[in-house]
Structure 1
Amino acid sequence: MSAASKPAFNRRLFLSLSAAGASAAALAACGGPSTETDTPVEEDELDFSGVTPAPEITFWSSHPGQSEAIETEIIEKFHASQSEIRVNMVSAGSNYEEVAQKFQTTQQGGDLPAIVIFSDVWWFRYFLNDSIIPLNALMEQLDFDTADYRDQLFSDYEYDGRQWAVPFARSTPLFYYNKDHWAAAGLPNRAPETWQEFSEWAPKIKAAVPGIQNVYQHPALIDYAGWTLQNQLWGEGAAWSDEWTITADSTEAVTAIQQVQDTVYKNAWAGVSSKDATADMAAGAVSAAVGSTGNLVGVLKTASFDVGVGFMPGGSRELTGVCPTGGAGLGIPKDISPEQQLSAATFLKFLTSPENTAAFSAATGYMPVRKSADMTQVLAATPQIQTAIDQLAVTRNQDYARVFLPGADQEIAKAAGRILTEQADVKTVLTELSATLEGIYTNDVKPKLPA
């Protein structure tokens, strides 16, 4: 569909209108929510004056980046800092999807948490579903230093002048590589500048280290395909979408994804991880992988060799600005008491303080979400984290098709699976994917747009 056939508007305008006139139906079992109803979202300003904090709240987490230990440590510090509020952390799922399903089930009846974790592709669904509250009133009452949050991360959750979450476990993808394998192949000690350069390096690595399973391991598709493949698309001047115009089957997109498929079949130096590509790399089974910055500390602890990290490679058309942000934020449910909401915000302020975000970064590799976080000791111990921080300056907002079309991320993952594990025809699959994404747009999103 051409851009001319769709209304012209920007994302902020769309979301502000959605807040005034749209609420999603329940989250689908696997594909996210639909947006078929027109029940208005309540616009009443929240007032917490005179509210007494609840003595006990629950925090739902999936412990991204193997963070359960540091989360527990921060909670214990919170308990030691005051005596009014106790936080009970619950392992609500092993990943963001499982947390989302549990959160939706509990919406239908059950004990809601006071704080819930959600990823880049889930928070907007909660927003549309009218199941979380804006945090502005709580932040003002509790004197959050909102200007100290990293702008690129904090603004991801700001719409219509209201803040719907705070950044927590925020990440970008990184290029991880085995420095020993690089040295054996006579390569420079750096990540490749482009995927084309890496395609020239790969045969050299394969020849120099014949015992490896693959030179490169593509990320597990269900968790990462829609996210990381944006990098290869953007490098070739393509994208899943141009705002609301679906471009997943453009000539440029077909070219980009064909290059990805060729690494597995035609050139035979890459494979697809069944679970965690960076873990495969850390185990020495493959020479390189792309994964979240949240995997960094775990990879460094596991690997018995010197691990290199670098920016995401560019492509033949774009060398920079080809890295998406990602990761998770934290929000507060609507259908809990004001007392619980106040306690939740009190803990959120503590959890994302400069000191604690530095500690969280040190333990996981996720980016510190506060500008004033003192990273001196963290970087002394793990200097690779600086690469993730530096790359933040050249990140790009994700394609609407991935983060704002309900269920689209799962559809992209299924399409990538057909291309990379079944050797399906790239153009055919992307044409079918585009039709699916168009259907989601037409049925679930377009009706909510201005005429």
Structure 2
Amino acid sequence: MKKKLASLLIALLMVGGILTGCGNSGGKTSSSNKPVEITFWHSMSGKNGQALQKMVNDFNSSHKNIKVTSQYQGKYDEAINKLKSAQRAKNGPDVIQTYDIGTRFMIDSGWVKPMQDFIDEEKYDTSSLESNIAGYYTVDNKLYSMPFNSSTPILYYNKDAFKAAGLDPDNPPKTFSELESAAAKLTKKDSSGKVTQYGYAMAIYGWFFEQFITKQGQAYVNNDNGRKAAPTATEFEKNGSGLKVLSEWNKLVKSGNAGNFGRKTDDTANAFIAGKTAMYVDSTAGLSAALSGVGQKFEIGTAALPSFDGIKDGGVSIGGASLWALDSKDTEKEKATWEFIKYMVSPDEQAYWATKTGYFPVTKKAYNSQLMKDNLKSKPQFQTAINQLHSSPSTAKGALMSVFPEARQTVEANIEQMLQNKQTPEQTLKKSADSINSAIKEYNQNNQK
């Protein structure tokens, strides 16, 4: 009897142990009952931020084993500076949205786990990714970050103003000489000679300077635009592309037919909406806001970024941002991060994102979505951006360098001086190149491997 009782007690203890182990062992098994928590830093505010948050909420609702906490970190410059501080304190996020010009810095930092690692491990199919977008973030045949919100610059124009000026509203300017001619016809003045409508306008934005260099098929910096190796010097002052951009820009403003509304792209966009300029250059990402702002006041037309006369069109490079996975050394968090990133670039999510923001879908399969088809039908102006992206050669990738944020600010400050008649295009070119080369040299010296 004692033996039977002992056996029964042992059996009960074993069952109890098994049940306890299933419920809460205090080890790895218990953590599997709780969602893996990851932090996502981003730079989307306003309507774009609302759309992004809905995507995050939908992910959390459909992935009970993962919880993503999204945190707005300010504009791209602010976010990358916060990341630098956080990483030094070993308190960074699991995934961060970083702008295109932060690519080389992110690669050099050693903080990231390349997308290629996840792709190779899972044998994830990347064939649907837009090649010209993925190409920007691919270095040494390795995709470092996942494209997310991508855009290119296009020409916006007021079709009603074109008709009033005797211009063909279905034949917008394709070259700078055509742009100059149209701008002159579109410019309006009151009886006192004050301009009431400029023919053209362009914000003082370094991205536009970069894009017009790419448009000429030229490099911004050496070492294959910083893609074969970290750049050691600028190229735009040597290959003639920089001076051509600055001279045309200066010429247009000095003619009195192009308005200068400062550095903020929103200010130039608002001038167009208010009828103060008949044409302007802006990101495709601004299309939804422009259409909404203009409403029924006039019809908006869109066209490819103007090219330079007599120069083969080099296409445009993408702007925007991508998603980077931080190397946390935590397998569970990294797997959760990968699941989140895959979800954010899935066809349905990219179709939703594109229709709400104006950014490109980064996956071609998004165009099969009824949502995307309906959006293109209601906003045919967006087709311009798609055609321009697809017609741009694979070489139109844009430059990579760690000091790009500083370089962009330098160029903008010098262009501002030029347009205020404080320096010539030649002086603007030299000062910009000298300053950027100094920053490149200092960075390379301080970051020798």
Instruction: Please tell me whether residue 313 in structure 1 is matched to residue 306 in structure 2.
Output: yes
Structure 2 CA distance, aligned partners of 1:448 and 1:104?
15
Contact 2:199 2:257 in 1 (8 A): no
Contact 1:171 1:325 in 2 (8 A): yes
What's the Cα RMSD here? 2.9
The number of residue pairs the alignment matches comes to 395
Per the alignment, residue 85 of structure 1 pairs with 66
Per the alignment, residue 271 of structure 2 pairs with 280
2:154 alignment partner, SS class:
strand
The 5 A counterparts of 1:13-162 are 55-63=36-44, 66-93=47-74, 95-109=75-89, 111-141=91-121, 144-162=124-142
Cα deviation digits, residues 346-368 of structure 1 (max 9, x gap): 11101100111111111111111
Cα deviation digits, residues 354-401 of structure 1 (max 9, x gap): 111111111111111112112322212222222111101233535537
Per the alignment, residue 390 of structure 1 pairs with 387
Given the two structures, how large is their TM-score scaled by the length of structure 2? 0.79
Contact 1:54 1:343 in 2 (8 A): no
1:286 alignment partner, SS class:
coil
Per the alignment, residue 249 of structure 1 pairs with 237
Contact 1:64 1:169 in 2 (8 A): no
How many angstroms does 1:330 deviate by? 0.5
Per the alignment, residue 22 of structure 2 pairs with none
Contact 1:261 1:423 in 2 (8 A): no
| Counterpart AA for 1:185 | A
How many angstroms does 1:261 deviate by? 0.9
Per the alignment, residue 10 of structure 2 pairs with none
Per the alignment, residue 297 of structure 1 pairs with 288
The 5 A counterparts of 1:91-240 are 91-93=72-74, 95-109=75-89, 111-141=91-121, 144-189=124-169, 190-207=171-188, 212-219=196-203, 221=204, 224-225=205-206, 227-233=207-213, 240=220
Structure 2 CA distance, aligned partners of 1:439 and 1:211?
41
| Counterpart AA for 1:193 | K
Structure 2 CA distance, aligned partners of 1:236 and 1:421?
26
Structure 1 CA distance, aligned partners of 2:448 and 2:391?
30
Once the two structures are overlaid, the 10-residue window that deviates more, 331-340 or 123-132, is: 331-340
How many angstroms does 1:208 deviate by? 8.1
> Measured at CA, do residues 141 and 247 of structure 1 come closer, stay the same or move farther in structure 2, by a change above 3 Å?
closer
1:366 alignment partner, SS class:
coil
2:201 alignment partner, SS class:
strand
1:174 alignment partner, SS class:
strand
Identical residues among aligned pairs (%):
24
Structure 2 CA distance, aligned partners of 1:398 and 1:317?
22
Per the alignment, residue 377 of structure 1 pairs with 374
Once the two structures are overlaid, the 10-residue window that deviates more, 333-342 or 347-356, is: 333-342
Cα deviation digits, residues 398-425 of structure 1 (max 9, x gap): 5537777573222222222222245412
1:156 alignment partner, SS class:
coil
Which structure has greater helix proportion?
Answer: 2
How many angstroms does 1:439 deviate by? 2.7
How many angstroms does 1:427 deviate by? 0.9
2:155 alignment partner, SS class:
strand
Structure 2 unaligned regions, length at least 5: 1-30, 225-230
Structure 1 CA distance, aligned partners of 2:172 and 2:422?
28
> Measured at CA, do residues 314 and 64 of structure 1 come closer, stay the same or move farther in structure 2, by a change above 3 Å?
farther
| Counterpart AA for 1:83 | K
Cα deviation digits, residues 289-319 of structure 1 (max 9, x gap): 1111111111111113211111001111225
2:359 alignment partner, SS class:
coil
Per the alignment, residue 31 of structure 1 pairs with none
How many angstroms does 1:236 deviate by? 6.1
How many angstroms does 1:434 deviate by? 2.0
Structure 1 CA distance, aligned partners of 2:241 and 2:364?
37
Per the alignment, residue 9 of structure 2 pairs with none
Cα deviation digits, residues 155-188 of structure 1 (max 9, x gap): 2222334321100001111111111211111111
Structure 1 unaligned regions, length at least 5: 1-50
Contact 2:216 2:312 in 1 (8 A): no
1:147 alignment partner, SS class:
coil
The structure 2 residue matched to 1:363, chosen from 356, 366, 381, is 356
> Measured at CA, do residues 257 and 140 of structure 1 come closer, stay the same or move farther in structure 2, by a change above 3 Å?
same
Structure 2 CA distance, aligned partners of 1:231 and 1:164?
22
Cα deviation digits, residues 244-264 of structure 1 (max 9, x gap): 563333455324312211222
Per the alignment, residue 415 of structure 1 pairs with 414
CA radius of gyration, larger in: 2
Instruction: Please tell me whether residue 334 in structure 1 is matched to residue 327 in structure 2.
Output: yes
Cα deviation digits, residues 32-63 of structure 1 (max 9, x gap): xxxxxxxxxxxxxxxxxxx9696222211111
| Counterpart AA for 1:290 | V
How many angstroms does 1:151 deviate by? 1.2
How many angstroms does 1:65 deviate by? 8.4
> Measured at CA, do residues 142 and 86 of structure 1 come closer, stay the same or move farther in structure 2, by a change above 3 Å?
farther
| Counterpart AA for 1:330 | L
